[in-house]
Amino acid sequence: MAVLSDRDIRKAVKEGRLKISDLIPENISVASVDLRLGSDFRVFRHTEVTHVDTREGLKDEFTELIKVPEGKPFTVHPGEFVLGSTIESVCLPADLTARLDGKSSLGRLGLVIHSTAGSVDPGFEGVLVLEIANISKVPVKLWPGMGICRLTFEELTSPSENPYNKRKSSKFLAQKGPCLGK
């Protein structure tokens, strides 16, 4: 597999092979695309939930959707875990995979932008849900619209036989915000 350069990313976008909605051309970097933070966050109702059973999964009533008004920040407190999402929606072809990484400037503040799910499968379509955790000792303000992460793209040696958008078990396909899954 080879990582796409800025030239290859621009070409894939221009040809329509790689789709990124609301893409700002200046956000294409040397070998990645910077993505921006949306204004919706899903927070856990930790005072009302005694536990999460991994066999049952997360239930909607375990979380609350917060919509941040324009021009206002969202504060992530120490030890807090929230779900956020990107403004941009991506659509990967069957022969590209992507890797999501948090921005270094946020990591240096103690923010983890994706706890475990950094891979984006070939055929994925939708916004990217971010698993945001504050491991520092101080609250951190996040501003909707700010740069939050980047995507690096890798070309597969051949197209996937069963890309994400063709699988019946794809529970995060076409997600539009910080959702828990289908």
pLDDT (tens digit, 9 = 90+) per residue, 47-64?
Answer: 777 777 778 776 677 889
Q: What are phi and psi of 59, to 5 degrees?
A: -110, 150
Is the pLDDT at 4 greater than 80? The verdict is yes
Q: At a CB cut-off of 8 Å and minimum separation 6, what does 152 contact?
A: 3, 4, 31, 32, 98, 99, 101
C-alpha–C-alpha distance, residues 129 and 86, integer Å: 7
Positions marked catalytic: 131
The closest alpha carbon to 101, from 3, 18, 168, belongs to: 3
Token digits for 88? 């941009």
pLDDT of residue 148 exceeding 90, the answer is: yes
Q: How do residues 81-120 score in pLDDT, each as one tens digit?
A: 999 999 999 999 999 999 999 999 999 999 999 877 788 9
User: Is the overall model pTM greater than 0.75, yes or no?
Assistant: yes
DSSP summary character for residue 26: G
Q: Is the pLDDT of residue 181 over 70?
A: no
**What mean pLDDT comes out for the span 10-37?**
97
pLDDT at res. 168: 67
Pick 45 or 182 by higher pLDDT. 45
Q: Could you identify the residue written with the tokens 């529970």?
A: 171
Any idea which fold 2-46+60-166 has? Deoxyuridine 5'-Triphosphate Nucleotidohydrolase; Chain A (2.70.40)
Long-range contacts of 54-59 (CB under 8 A, 24+ apart): 57/180, 57/181, 58/180, 58/181, 59/180
Distances (CA, A) of 131 to 1, 69, 166: 27, 21, 25
State the Cα–Cα distance between residues 96 and 121, nearest whole angstrom.
Answer: 8
Q: What is the pLDDT of residue 49?
A: 74
